[in-house]
Amino acid sequence: MKKSVRELQVRGKRVLLRVDFNVPMADGDVTDDTRIRASLPTIEYLLEQDARIILVSHRGRPKGKVLEALRMDPVARRLADILERPVTKASDVAGASSKALAAALQPCELLLLENVRFHPGEEVNDEELAREMASLADVFVNDAFGTAHRAHASTVGVAKHLPSVAGLLMSREIESLSRLLAEPARPFIAVLGGIKVSDKIRVLQNLAGKADMLLLGGGMANTFLSAKGFSMGTSIIDNDGATFAREMLEKTRGCLHLPVDLLVAPSVWAGESARVPVDAVPPGLMALDIGPRTVAAYRETVVPAGTVFWNGPMGVFENPVFAGGTREMAKAIASCKGVTVVGGGDSIAALKETGVYGEITHVSTGGGASLEFLEGRSLPGIEVLMDR
């Protein structure tokens, strides 16, 4: 395991804290501050230690260019409101502004650097940028699990120049996901949705050997149903994942479960749907959500489980007509008395919409990072941190 910020002397020190403040905006204001609040335990711990806190994050994909709409100023304002204390905003990443402000920081003061992806060296892990950012601080704390699978200057580069540890959010992510792979309470049920099988081949392979049961939904299930020989009408099928789906069906008999009924319609944005069994999808219609019999069967499986991991919607969650399966899955998993771990944007949105977000054991902040972790891969942003 990796050292956490609690295991490093940070009292009074300048701490470069990598956070994931890639939050949505509208009219210049933050519309969802979930990611900001996720790092509050680490920020509050550092404040208790009289640390001088230098926060660094990205927003969006500016590709090394300065884009006014992606500046960090609204984030600084929201963080200041939440903490009820000032947050100074630097006008650059590792230039004259940030250096002067970082040098002037007093204990318990906070500085937020400009969007690190405005610098062309960030995504290529530029050594000079990493060295310049590291020069601002005495220690480095990475609390941005959502970017841990990226070998960038602010996640990997700086860690080569400073004592580097995990933030409290990062530590919780590592511990929660590691437990899924190493010692889950049984039965361990994995629920996977989304569109493409090919995006989750390695996750399916790894979890197939560890989970007691895999429950599939969404477009991914369409591909597996097609591989079983069912006619799927005009449903979206991931042809790149079709061969793998057939192989998985052979290897995981009794473990892998597919929908037994579906909601179908002529198009993704149809205003109404029809329920059909999986062997009766009409020509000209497409499967866009799991049906009520499938919801009931999946609920019966997950509620008594010892551990449940869920990533990916059960249908076209963007259209309320086909959001029911995903919402019902959220409620079912929240009703489980075992350990529950949920990741992925639509899955998390369903938790919030159904009012059960707070009933989940661990909500993972890293979509791509959590999937790569569950594939069994080493994440570069974690690997560079100090071991216990």
How far apart CA 103 and CA 113 sit, in angstroms, is 13
Query: Which of 56, 165, 172, 189 is closest to 117 using CA atoms?
Result: 56
345 is known as an active-site residue: yes
Q: Which of 35, 89, 200, 327 is catalytic?
A: 35
3-class SS of residue 242 = helix
368 is known as an active-site residue: yes
Q: Which of 28, 60, 345, 355 is catalytic?
A: 345
Using alpha carbons only, give the angle 268, 274, 276 rounded to the nearest 5 degrees.
110
How far apart CA 214 and CA 216 sit, in angstroms, is 6
Q: In degrees to the nearest 10, what's the CA dihedral of 110, 163, 56, 108?
A: -10
Query: Which of 95, 98, 113, 92 is closest to 21 using CA atoms?
Result: 113
| CB of 356 closer than 8 Å to CB of 334 | yes
How far apart CA 21 and CA 55 sit, in angstroms, is 10
How far apart CA 41 and CA 355 sit, in angstroms, is 23
Q: Give the torsion sign (CA, 190, 196, 200, 201).
A: positive
Residue whose pair of structure tokens reads 């661990």 in the numeric block: 362
Q: Which of 196, 210, 331, 352 is catalytic?
A: 196
Q: What would the two tokens of residue 302 be?
A: 């997950």
| CB of 376 closer than 8 Å to CB of 202 | yes
How far apart CA 377 and CA 224 sit, in angstroms, is 25
Catalytic residues: 35, 196, 345, 368
